[in-house]
Amino acid sequence: MKGLKAYVKRLEDEVKRRFVGNEEAVHVLTLNLLHERSTALIRAPRGRGKSTLMLLFLRGIFGDDFVVISGASEIKRGEVIARLHIPSLEREGVERVIWSAFVKAPGKGIDEVNRLNPYTASNIYHLLQFGEVWAYGQRYVVGDFVLFANENPGDPTTFTHPPPFYDRFDVSVQLSALSLSEKFRLQKLTESYGSIVESMPQVIDFDTLREARREVAEVEVDVDLRALMNVLVRDLQACVRNRDISRVRPPALCEGCHFVHGVCSMVREGPSERATLVLLNLAKAKEWLDGSVTEDDIYRLAVYALAHRMELVRHDRGVEELERVLRRQRELNEERRARRQWAILERLYRGFSRDLYKLAKEIAVEDLVFAEELMKLEEEWLAKGLVRPEETIRQRLMLDGEL
């Protein structure tokens, strides 16, 4: 195990030796490598080293044996997925599919994802999610891979890809500009290395990385941290007015809502269930590679797991707004702990108590996630005749929240 860690740490070190600044982003990209079919999106304005960082990682793992497709050039389906072997079709009338190098290579890169045309992007959807592709009625199992992509969302020639496309990326990192001292370091680096990408050695091979991935998959994450991830994501998803299917979105949707003070009112579109899975993978990787993972780590990692898969009401503020929402959610969690609400729920799961139920209802009117769990219990109690429909929290929230 130590040997495998040393390989992964050396990969990170070699990348950091050549890539100035953005150390946390590099570490997150390294952690994200440690699970099957890892996909990472690097976002930045022009000239911040998006492609360089992508190539450094790919070279560090695959040497020269990787395939990069560029959204900037007019790539066709044949280059991304597959094409038909024309002689076989013409002479024998047989549809022989020739799968593209991009599909077959375990090391994949997509340069300028934002310039991929929607048709090409939709071909990549399935590959990212299930590790397989379909063309001309035939299926090719891609299996495990490493994929890095980059984009400049501010690019005027950008295609606006739909949210499900971005949701298929495990993490997104936003590269910041270099500080004054870092610019001096970059100049020194280019003078000493010449081509920074060319100087990157292959420090690990894909089989070794897969071995590391298998070990990481076995890592146990503490139930408190699992709860933290799940509560965090649920807080960002939950909406008493069914935001997911409503045509009106916050803040208009929140007008007059009982939960207008909640974190939910800051979210226009919540994250998918992939968010908790990605957070769990990152937590396992952090435990394996760094020896520990804490609550603070989960909140830091959440920025990278959520930024590209949800939309905030104040999205114009970018990552700063997401950090603000996460701070608010953290404060909410501290309040939950202080009022011992999960302990109250545990006692209610063990058996109905009218006093505790009354207390739980008071908590539920302030906390939608807690209210959801209490409502599930209420259904059982209603069936047993322990509570009356008019006294339930569901009834109260329907009246207050105009469900």
Position 294 contacts another protein (CB under 8 A): no
User: Out of 346, 362, 380, 402, which residue is the one contacting another protein (CB under 8 A)?
Assistant: 346
Position 343 contacts another protein (CB under 8 A): yes
389: preceding bond cis by omega (within 30 degrees): no
Burial of 358 (0-12, 13-18, 19+ CB in 10 A): exposed
Tokens linked to 235 = 């807080």
From 83-91, 236-244, 270-278, 327-335, give the range in contact with another protein by CB under 8 A.
327-335
Position 356 contacts another protein (CB under 8 A): yes
User: Out of 198, 355, 383, 384, which residue is the one contacting another protein (CB under 8 A)?
Assistant: 355
We find the least distance from the C-beta atom of residue 288 to another protein, in angstroms, to be: 20
* Residue (139 or 350) nearer to another protein, CB: 350
Q: Supply the DSSP symbol for 402.
A: T
**Do the beta carbons of residue 56 and residue 18 sit within 8 Å?**
yes
Query: For residue 47, which phi and psi values (nearest 5 degrees)?
Result: 70, 25
* Residue (164 or 256) nearer to another protein, CB: 256
The gap from C-alpha 390 to its chain's centroid, in whole angstroms, comes to 41
H/E run at residue 172: strand 171-174
Position 324 contacts another protein (CB under 8 A): yes
Q: Is 309 left (phi over 0), alpha (psi -120 to 50) or beta?
A: alpha
**Do the beta carbons of residue 314 and residue 321 sit within 8 Å?**
yes
We find the least distance from the C-beta atom of residue 249 to another protein, in angstroms, to be: 17
Position 328 contacts another protein (CB under 8 A): yes
Position 245 contacts another protein (CB under 8 A): no
**Do the beta carbons of residue 132 and residue 141 sit within 8 Å?**
yes
From 36-44, 97-105, 142-150, 259-267, give the range in contact with another protein by CB under 8 A.
259-267
User: Out of 257, 289, 344, 368, which residue is the one contacting another protein (CB under 8 A)?
Assistant: 344
Which residues contact another protein (rule: CB under 8 A)?
223-224, 226-227, 256, 260-261, 265, 324, 327-328, 331, 334-335, 337-340, 342-347, 349, 353, 355-356, 359
